[in-house]
Structure 1
Amino acid sequence: MNNDKEKAKDSLNKTIKMMVPAVLTAMIATALGFISLYASPVPMIQDFGKMLTIGLVVSFILGIFLLIPILFTRDYFFSEDKGKQPKQRQKRSPSKTDKVLDCITGKTITFRWIIIIIVAVTAAFGIWVDLDADAETDMETFMPQDTQELNDIHKLRDVLGTTDQISIVYESYDIFSDQVNTWVDDLTESLETEFPDVVVKTNSLTSVVKQMNNEELPDGEEFKEEVANIPESQLKLFFNESETKGVITVGIEHLEANDLELFIDDLGVYLENNDLDMLETTITGKSVLDVEMIQGLTTGRYQMTLIGMGLVFLSLLVIYRHPVKAFIPLLPIIFIVGWSGLVMYFLDMSYTPLTATLGALIIGIGTEFTVLIMERYYEEREKGYQSREAIKMANKNIGKAVFVSAITTIGGFSALLASDFVILNNFGLMTLTNISLALFSTLIVMPPILIILDRFVKIKQTS
């Protein structure tokens, strides 16, 4: 019994001294990868990054202060060997998993240069095609396509001609002046002619007044008298309480993201060419927000990925104080980013507000795996093992844990595949794909990288 207690204490000490620092390093790198989501201009992505970071920190704290004490208590007080005579320790024969990992590691070492060349070329091609990837922000494409609500929207659009609109806000010290009214009326009438394939109908204060005045636009005090006869609830749709801003609503066809962006750009040019010195105009509305989101998802996701990698590299550089050791865990991540883009290209998938976070998720999850493998590799090197034996020992001792961790994570995200919402289904599919790529990169690509770059890292052997 005392022997069992000593073993439990020894296991606890080794776990705290050897495993906790490695896990802490991996957690810091992973958290910084998630923090890169804060750089997104899209608020929902920023909130997603906050929740991922909080969840990661909570998981680490629970693992250290709850899981480890539970395991220690089990081994210290409830050992299965309690009351039995100690038996002579026998050498444990390698399991089938150990043999498979050992075989895989041996093959990856043998063909390391071929592996590196193949993964580098495929990842570079994936990054290249991903630069031109489309972003989808149309909420209708995210919904289950057979829902009654979506069918109702389509029927309403057929009846009204449109359910989408943008707003042109004009501002002046006197929005009821004859000059402003003439400008508003001309713009309201000309938009349908200027953009016949896009603009379905327009509406403004002048068009309402004209309907009340036999299609004639009154001027001066007569215009203000007509405005006074309009119900207050309707007036609120066309100008603010201080009477300094007015709105022209423009009903448009339901457009794809790229076509919508082109139309808004063309409309902006048209307003500049027909401006009025006493007015300031702004194009706004949900459609404009959709375009802004597209830009955030396309350009913002590159920034998030680069910022995430930069933060992880700097954190590892501070921890290891060695640029090569700080760079090694990131190299497989770069490959995964490229492969992820390649998968989306072949699946013909567009980026959504959720899949735009994949870069940060790849950095977070992948870095955790690569850091743990690298830590164990250099631990074995410090014990005196040569590089080939060290990577075999590392994959054998911690590869199984990485594999199980990846499989359980895949199992958790698999639930998203059952969702009827396309946006969740696609996110689940790509998350499973990226976790699988992270596992592949850790077990297949990481050993060749460690072997090739081993010469650049000096090892202080402890035994």
Structure 2
Amino acid sequence: MKNKTYRNQSEKSLKRTITKMVPAVMTALIATALGFISLYTSPVPMIQDFGKMLTVGMVVSFFVGLFLLIPILFTRDHFFGSKQKKADMEKGEGKADRLLDKFTKYLIKLRWLIILLAIVTASLGIWVDTETGVETDVESFMPQDDQALGDIHKLRDVIGTTDQVSIVYEGEDVVNAEIMTWVDRVSESLNDEFSEVVDTKSITTAVKQMNDGELPEEGDWGSHLEDMPSEQAKLLINEEHTQGVINIGIKHLESEPLQEFLNALAAFLEENEVADVETTVTGKSVLDVEMISALTSGRYQMTLLGMGLVFLGLLLIYRHPVKAFIPLVPIILIVGWSGAAMYLLDINYTPLTATLGALIIGIGTEFTVLIMERYYEEREKGNSAEIAIRISNQKIGKAIFTSALTTIGGFSALLISDFVILSNFGLMTLINISLALFSTIVVMPAILIIFDRFVKIKARKEVQVG
């Protein structure tokens, strides 16, 4: 008789999980995926791929849980339930449940103070976040005792530079006296004009080395180019004589001063332009600046876009603006707290930490949606707002706490990385997951009760529970 009762309870639990929990998790999954979509808007392929893999991982986890984990748990409880498990079911609430219930009662009493402190601290965090620095020197991301990095520094000491910028100039015929004179003038002037320039190489500097330091006469350019080794000439001018390049060796600069140099170089070329010649500043250093700028400067846009997409997605699901907005309130707070943490810990933004906004939205939204879903489920049963949030924190809070701990354990592996960029990313991810847990368990109850008056519930009959 007991076995039959236990099996019936297992079947009821399975049905309840499929009908109640799966839709809630599906809603959280959609909201999380929408938050990660903001990563797809990054112009940097590595960030786009990061967002894609996060989304794929979530979808795979959901279906594995639905079609593998749930059947395994049902099979265990239905056919292999032990006496201890039966006793646990009959026992009801455990110590953790009672502790969460007691804790939630205090949170409800202090809800206005909690909201006030949360808003003030988050606002301060958003303000100081604007003062947080941006680490743009790619070499600083590497282990500073790495042999390869040491070799780069030695090479830089010997030859003066390992970084280069190129000026590509184009025209119908770049081998004529006027353009060659312009190339020579630019090549010579760059060393005097910019302290960042170490040396310059162009077709004129190569020809002058072959002509005792003098430029050839107007009609001698062809013969000098023919005398030059073809492999050397190809590095400075094409065979059709329609394109040439001035290679500029520069000192090692971080992204911001490098960007200033590139802007000044562009202005210099505009002031010293020559007719029928188009110039383009290019090279690996230019690409590095563009990449770092795209990764770091767009972090606010990615965060706002992610929040906007999550709000629109939840609005389509719930068809209620307040219910769509409630899960985002803790996320906004976490964004502020995260900025404050980076400022206080003196951690600069990097290409990886610039994506933290999207991660906060993804991880935090999942937690807040699950709590909210359970809250309104209890409200529809007729429970009061306070009773509903106590039950929600009891039943869902423990699962969220466990999920947060396992996620923290996974990201903790990044802390031991020799690469500063990875260890800082791991540290900030751990902090943000902890903040998401805190915001969901501590702040979300106050938010739900305060916004409860704006959401109409079908059943309003009060049921006194516990």
Aligned to 2:163: 164
The one-letter code matched in structure 1 to 2:193 is E
One-letter identity of the residue aligned with 2:50: F
AA matched with 2:165: I
Q: Any residues of structure 2 matched to 1:319-334 within 5 Å, and which? A: 319-334=317-332
Q: Distance in 2 between matches of 1:154 and 1:236?
A: 29
1:411 to 403, 409, 412: 409
CA distance in 2, matches of 1:87, 1:127: 50
Is 1:41 aligned to 2:48, yes or no?
no
Question: Are 2:126 and 2:335, in contact at CA under 8 Å, matched by a contact in 1?
Answer: yes
Alignment of 1:129-144 (within 5 A): 129-144=128-143
- Whole-angstrom distance in 2 between the partners of 1:241 and 1:324: 67
**SS of equivalent to 1:169:** strand
Shift of 1:303: 1.4
Structure 2 CA distance for aligned equivalents of residues 334 and 99 of structure 1: 30
Match of residue 441 from structure 1: 439
Please, which of 228, 234, 256 is the counterpart of residue 254 of structure 2? 256
Q: What's the TM-score once normalised by structure 1's chain length?
A: 0.95
**Residues 310, 89 of structure 1: alpha-carbon distance in 2 compared, 3 angstrom cutoff:** closer
Structure 1 segment 391-430 matched on structure 2, within 5 A: 391-430=389-428
**How far off is 1:47 after superposition?**
0.8
Rounded to whole Å, the distance in 2 between the matches of 1:87 and 1:359 is 45
Of stretches 230-239 and 261-270 in structure 1, the one that deviates more from structure 2 is: 230-239
Shift of 1:80: 2.1
> Which residue matches 1:218?
216
Superposition deviation, residue 241 in structure 1: 4.6
- Report if aligned partners of 2:296, 2:351 keep a CA contact under 8 Å in 1: no
Q: TM-score if structure 2 supplies the norm length?
A: 0.95
Question: Residues 176 and 111 (structure 1 numbering): CA distance in 2 closer, same or farther, change over 3 Å?
Answer: same
How far is 1:462 from its partner?
A: 8.5
Residue type of the alignment partner of 1:258: E
Q: Is structure 2 residue 123 aligned with structure 1 residue 121? A: no
> What is the one-letter code of the residue matched to 2:241?
E
Q: Distance in 1 between matches of 2:252 and 2:103?
A: 53
Residue 298 of structure 2 aligns to a residue whose secondary structure is helix
How far off its partner does 1:16 sit?
0.3
Residue number among 282, 293, 296 corresponding to 1:295 in the alignment? 293
- Structure 2 alignment gaps of length 5 or more: 462-466
| Distance change (3 Å), C-alpha of 1:89 and 1:203 | closer
**Residues 7-406 of structure 1: pairs in structure 2 closer than 5 A:** 7-81=9-83, 90-95=90-95, 97-196=96-195, 198-406=196-404
1:299: how far off? Answer: 2.7
Contact 2:296/2:350 (8 A) holds in 1 = no
226-235 vs 314-323, which moves further: 226-235
- Taking only the aligned residue pairs, the percentage that are identical comes to 64
Q: Deviations over 1:376-409 (max 9, x none)?
A: 1111111111111111110011100000000000
Distance 1:194 1:89 in 2: 81
Q: Is the 8 A contact 1:39 1:303 kept in 2?
A: no
Shift of 1:269: 0.9
Structure 1 position 413, deviation (Å): 0.2
- The CA deviation at 1:27 is 0.3
Report the 3-state secondary structure (helix = DSSP H, G, I; strand = E; otherwise coil) of the residue aligned with 1:316: helix
Corresponding residue for 2:464? Answer: none
Q: Secondary structure at the match of 1:238?
A: coil
Counterparts in 2 of 1:88 and 1:430: CA distance versus 1, 3 Å: closer
Whole-Å separation in 1 of the counterparts to 2:456 and 2:255:
53
Alignment: residue pair count: 459
Secondary structure of the 1:165 match is strand
- How far residue 201 of structure 1 moved from its aligned partner, in angstroms, is 0.8
1:297-335 per-residue CA deviation (whole Å, 9 max, x = no partner) reads 233111111111111000100000000000000010011
State the secondary structure of the residue aligned to 1:225. Answer: helix
Residues in 1 aligned to 2:241 and 2:99: alpha-carbon distance in whole angstroms: 76
Any idea what the Cα deviations from partners look like across 1:246-283, whole Å, max 9, x if unmatched? 11111111112211111111111111111112111111
Contact between 2:238 and 2:244, CA under 8 Å: does it hold in 1? Answer: yes
CA contact (8 A) 2:202 2:246 kept: yes
Q: CA deviation at 1:5?
A: 2.9
Partners of 1:89 and 1:267 in 2: CA distance: 74
Aligned mates of 2:88, 2:103 — CA distance in 1: 33
AA paired with 1:417?
Answer: L
- Matched residue type, 1:268: A
Contact 1:168–1:281, Cα closer than 8 Å, also in 2: yes
Moved more, 34-43 or 362-371: 34-43
Structure 1 residues 241, 100: CA separation in 2 closer, same or farther (over 3 Å shift)?
farther
For the aligned residue pairs, the C-alpha RMSD in angstroms reads: 1.9
* 1:18-37, Cα deviation, whole Å (9 max, x unpaired): 00000000000001111110
By how many angstroms is 1:89 displaced?
Answer: 7.4
Does the 8 Å CA contact 2:306/2:361 hold for their aligned counterparts?
A: yes
1:352-394 CA-to-partner distances (Å, cap 9, x unmatched) read 1111110000000000000000111111111111111111110
C-alpha distance in structure 2 between counterparts of 1:140 and 1:169, whole Å: 27
Contact 1:134 1:298 in 2 (8 A): no
How far the C-alpha of 1:219 sits from its partner, in A, is 4.0
1:253 maps to a residue whose letter is: K
Superposed displacement of residue 234, structure 1: 1.8
Question: 1:90 offset after TM fit, Å?
Answer: 4.1
Distance 2:89 2:283 in 1: 74
Alpha-carbon displacement from aligned partner over 1:182-231 (angstroms, at most 9, x marks no partner): 111100000010012x1111111110111111111114441122112222
Q: Which moved more, 1:178-187 or 1:106-115?
A: 106-115
Task: Give, in whole Å, the separation in 2 of the partners of 1:215 and 1:89.
Answer: 94
Assess if the C-alpha contact under 8 Å between 1:41 and 1:300 holds in 2. Answer: no
CA contact (8 A) 1:297 1:351 kept: no
Q: Is the 8 A contact 1:137 1:293 kept in 2?
A: no
